[in-house]
Structure 1
């Protein structure tokens, strides 16, 4: 009997071990909002990018922790001496998640659907990324050639971006048509499984991935809108990773043994004016409102040392940043004089804002709007705040049919100064990237010069001069650059936040 019991115990433990080994490794990542979609041609916001970078791949990609370029679906490339022709040699033996082959035709398809006459108005990054592309040609099954209509300094960096540049399955786009935003098919280490709106998106490991396989079997992106709730979920172990960490929660998380990532943020947090309509079509009124806001006090109060006041649109580590650049000074008496001069002494206006935390604004848009509202009231300027959920907010700002100003932010895509400063290009009004509808021919001309200049030192001078002009024109109130923060449980290994605001999760284990 004793031998029988011993044998039974051994068999039970053996089966238990097999069961434990077979249990899927699931990583749960809580984030602030549902994405708008998952087709890179139709999206330009971070909540989409966080997921898309794990489904799709690009010809080139960023090295860990930097925006330096390395091979991905392209193994090598050359550039002609005049800067107009780029030729890429592609990786062989790669298949999309639907089983169709990756090749030069797929690259051509991914790009050409975003070029005239195929590009549509709901492709926000199409012109931003591919405007200089004259044509794309298949040279061979695994060789593709881009011909540009002008030298374009950010071209290679743009091909690594989360939007527009990822290579999609032509078969899947043709199959799903307008629904491709809900059915993403790429070549990446994870495959799309399902999407429960405003609840979760599930990815599963791509067992046929061409590179090293992902270390977890499944990733669940959970939508948890409230900062405090996300922190509580992390503390209890209900989730493994959170982003949008509230500065008020940092000490509590760290004292509980959780890991908090605090990286310099490649971002700008700002209040923008709708410059195409009254009252903010008058730069004097824009300057007055800017000067009435004590940005230093707001940043200190809201972000508690986890952000720094901006002197302009560029973070300090982006080429073209000018430490000597002087923003409009805080001067409420001068602000009142400017308003009187512009005939706007009794100014009142409506501000649009968002209800969730963002990586560039880790409290939330409403709190920031209320802090600005209190500052403006000190000089008699009255404001009405309209708050939207994130999914609705982007449409409200894009349409600009209501409101006079808005709160927003930008997270750099590629480390190039043009990636920030082209948000003031009038050519990006239609795409929606120039939310302020700001138009200045001189600014447009300087931006063209910046991208056509291939000498890095010369480009720095161009962009520094441009920022001085933008300070005077004041299409934005430059508020802050936030630390990029996320938190995770100690049993999670290999998690990193990239400067562009996303995380590749194939190297993360649990």
Structure 2
């Protein structure tokens, strides 16, 4: 989620675009006028309606904008492409007053028609299966009306407490040039056009994505002219690239490289992670369509020990899906207790002697140890209770496709919160899309609880409703929550004013690189 996030296959896969010229252009620029960001994985695409991963968010958050945005240090919303808004007393009508004089990077006008076009493409009957975030952002929307050129009205079918926060998200809510969408068959994964502080130049798949400053930007212009997102999948290679001065910022690092980074004179930036790292059971088929079987596997895994071993204090063991600082978190919620002897008996009675796991090979912000390392650690625990695990590990893009095909017993994933609301985490297990609901969990009681809670006003009653939902999930065990990761970013000491937002956004317009 960023997120990290759950995903869909088909049209939205990260595709190659010609990029040699753009890369050369950036390389020829003054060294301090080019910012190079080393990522653990490539983006899957650059159309905010068609992707759902944090690697894509990092790039898109510099190309596009939404009606609203989050404050730099929280998930509180503030104006962006909408200067102000009014909400009806019944919570069913939202009127947005748009910023005037804004243009998309292709020279076309941003206006109320553009807003309607973007939302309508994610509503029935136009919404497509590969628009994973459409229901998250716009599920409560009835229709969109153009009042005048600079005023748009959004009518809801029912109240939705996190709706304003949803409109600041980078997935689904960012506004794309209608002309670009029309010119590219409703898919701008390779041809992104927004209103943001940077413009797209080129993309060489699994190599780099190049952006250049948008000198016609309506707001404060970016301080650094060029940005290059360079894909370096190997963790140690990213550290070497930073220490050698080949890149300026890297992510996807863990405790094992902190000393290596700092001893070279570079710096570590830490921040609390609004995320969850988890293991998911395939609830749609045997043996894990049985809650007792799921709980038995979970009871074989010592989560606190696992987290300490893998993350060495840079992640905290999860007792719930929700991060501990999020409204709705309940410290009384507990997952299946670690009891290997009881697990061994239950698994033998259920006839479970082997399981098929699939996982990912790259580091993730919610799991800097990477998915294969985590799966192998779980494999070790299960071997002690008589269960043999086969593990198939894939690069991130391939993994997303394999996960959606559903040929697995257990998979691994994570989520970076998009909007600071409990619904954004707990809703994952209430949707039918396997690109979001990795566990393919289908429980009507739970769905009803989530549908009710999202309409409730902020406060103790709403928090209690989400606590009840968490308790039901703990009982049903579709996931084994593992950890909440601390965000670790390493930067050159030359980098100033860098910010990694809790939602996974990576605004770079205010970042500079000193000599």
TM over 0.5: yes
Which of 390, 406, 417 is matched with 2:422 structurally?
417
Q: Quick one: structure 1 residues 21 and 122, their matched pair in 2 at CA, closer, same or farther if it must change by over 3 Å?
A: closer
Unaligned ranges ≥5, structure 2? 1-27
Match of 1:478 in 2: 481
Match of 1:468 in 2: 471
Which of 126, 141, 157 is matched with 1:133 structurally?
141
Which of 490, 496, 501 is matched with 2:499 structurally?
496
Q: Deviations over 1:136-195 (max 9, x none)?
A: 000110000000000111101100111110000000110111551100000000000000
Match of 1:361 in 2: 367
Could you list the structure 1 runs, at least 4 aligned residues long, displaced by more than 6 angstroms after superposition. 20-24
Match of 2:435 in 1: 432
SS of the residue corresponding to residue 137 of structure 1 reads strand
Match of 1:370 in 2: 376
> CA separation in 1, counterparts of 2:372 and 2:220?
43
Q: TM-score by structure 1 length?
A: 0.94
Say if 1:24 and 1:217, in contact at 8 Å, map to a contact too: no
Per-residue deviation, 1:298:
1.1
Match of 1:180 in 2: 188
Per-residue deviation, 1:368:
0.4
> CA separation in 2, counterparts of 1:52 and 1:353?
26
Say if 1:127 and 1:431, in contact at 8 Å, map to a contact too: no
Unaligned ranges ≥5, structure 1? 1-19
> CA separation in 2, counterparts of 1:430 and 1:481?
24
**1:397 matched to 2:397:** no
Q: Where in structure 2 are the equivalents of 1:241-320 lying within 5 Å?
A: 241-320=249-328
> CA separation in 2, counterparts of 1:398 and 1:475?
16
Match of 1:231 in 2: 239
Q: Where in structure 2 are the equivalents of 1:99-118 lying within 5 Å?
A: 99-118=107-126
Say if 2:360 and 2:396, in contact at 8 Å, map to a contact too: yes
> CA separation in 2, counterparts of 1:366 and 1:469?
29
Say if 1:185 and 1:191, in contact at 8 Å, map to a contact too: yes
Deviates more, 1:455-464 or 1:285-294: 455-464
**1:41 matched to 2:49:** yes
Say if 1:216 and 1:509, in contact at 8 Å, map to a contact too: yes
SS of the residue corresponding to residue 95 of structure 2 reads strand
> CA separation in 2, counterparts of 1:488 and 1:44?
26
SS of the residue corresponding to residue 376 of structure 2 reads helix
> CA separation in 2, counterparts of 1:203 and 1:238?
17
The structure whose Rg is larger is 1
SS of the residue corresponding to residue 138 of structure 1 reads strand
Q: Deviations over 1:356-408 (max 9, x none)?
A: 000010011110000000000001011100001111011111121x2111011
**1:82 matched to 2:87:** no
Per-residue deviation, 1:326:
2.0
Say if 1:267 and 1:409, in contact at 8 Å, map to a contact too: yes
> CA separation in 1, counterparts of 2:266 and 2:32?
23
Per-residue deviation, 1:24:
6.8
**1:406 matched to 2:411:** yes
Deviates more, 1:193-202 or 1:328-337: 328-337
Structure holding more helix per residue:
1
Matched length: 486
> CA separation in 2, counterparts of 1:294 and 1:454?
37
Per-residue deviation, 1:431:
6.1
**1:456 matched to 2:459:** yes
Match of 1:69 in 2: 77
RMSD: 1.3
> CA separation in 1, counterparts of 2:459 and 2:235?
40
> CA separation in 2, counterparts of 1:447 and 1:203?
40
Match of 2:37 in 1: 29
Per-residue deviation, 1:99:
0.3
Match of 2:161 in 1: 153
Say if 1:247 and 1:363, in contact at 8 Å, map to a contact too: no
Q: Where in structure 2 are the equivalents of 1:45-60 lying within 5 Å?
A: 45-60=53-68
Say if 2:335 and 2:477, in contact at 8 Å, map to a contact too: no
Per-residue deviation, 1:129:
1.1
Q: TM-score by structure 2 length?
A: 0.93
Which of 381, 386, 391 is matched with 1:380 structurally?
386
Match of 1:97 in 2: 105
Match of 2:6 in 1: none
Q: Deviations over 1:13-67 (max 9, x none)?
A: xxxxxxx997770000000111110000101111111100100000000001110
Say if 1:27 and 1:216, in contact at 8 Å, map to a contact too: yes
